[in-house]
Amino acid sequence: MTDPVVFAAHFQDVYRRLTLVAAGVTGERQSAEDIVQEAAIVAFEKIEQFEPGSRFSAWMAEIVRRCALNYRRKVQHRRTYSTDPAIIAEVESDASVDKRSPIASNGGELVPDQTAFDDQVASALQTLSAEARSCLLLRVIENLTYAEISELLGIPEGTAMSHVHRSKSALRKQLSEEPQAKRQQR
């Protein structure tokens, strides 16, 4: 596995899954790709620690998880906020937020401009633990089996199944309650 071409081929095969692991840990889709790239560098430098016969995806997922945890710690310590008066005024007036319900009352279809719903889903995902969020993303987006999630994250299969089930229930509850709460505020 010390051959860069072989490493790159294996890395490319699992890149999308690793990105979901990073996004699950940090809760940020934007930083996930950078974290996976950083993890690739770390992994390539430590390639001699890879045990032949073990799964490359699981080994890389652990490195990605650790890089993502480091990133999350760094970001939490350096939280800064804009001092631009225009941005502060926009946030205070809340003018940029779409107040309509993202779900049409007839049939439950998403309305054409669903940015508010996307924000609600992203916000609801933030309430999940990093491990639960990773399990849910890998199951829903990558359509991995629970056994594959278990192997990739190094957790028992039953735990992966439980995380996905509880996460779906929690999101369903949060997303159904949020539109009701907004209607009551009006």
pLDDT in tens, 103-152: 444 455 555 555 566 778 888 888 999 999 999 999 999 999 999 999 99
**Higher pLDDT pick, 33 / 122:** 33
Block residue for tokens 């008066």: 85
Residue-wise pLDDT for 41-82, tens only, equals 999 999 999 998 889 999 999 999 999 999 988 887 765 555
pLDDT at residue 29 in the model? 83
Tell me whether the CATH fold assigned to 4-77 matches the one assigned to 100-181.
no
pLDDT at residue 40 in the model? 96
Residue 38 has pLDDT above 80, yes or no: yes
Q: What proportion of the chain, given as a percentage, has pLDDT over 90?
A: 56
pLDDT at residue 179 in the model? 59
Q: Tell me how many degrees the CA angle 152-158-160 measures, rounded to the nearest 5.
A: 40
CATH number for the region 4-77 comes to 1.10.1740
pLDDT at residue 95 in the model? 44
Mean residue pLDDT of the chain comes to: 82
Of 169, 138, 173, 163, nearest in space to 152 by CA: 138
User: Residue 16 — pLDDT band, cuts 50, 70, 90?
Assistant: very high
Ordered by start, the domain boundaries in the chain are 4-77, 100-181
pLDDT at residue 183 in the model? 54
Q: For the chain, where are the E strands, in sequence order?
A: none
Residue 8 has pLDDT above 90, yes or no: yes
pLDDT at residue 180 in the model? 61
Q: Given 3.40.50.720, 1.10.10.10, 2.60.40.10, 3.40.50.2000, which CATH number is that of 100-181?
A: 1.10.10.10
User: Residue 92 — pLDDT band, cuts 50, 70, 90?
Assistant: low
b/e sequence 68-106, b meaning 16+ C-beta within 10 Å = beebbeeeeeeeeeeeeeeeeeeeeeeeeeeeebbbeee
25-29, 117-121, 161-165, range with the lowest pLDDT: 117-121
User: Residue 27 — pLDDT band, cuts 50, 70, 90?
Assistant: confident
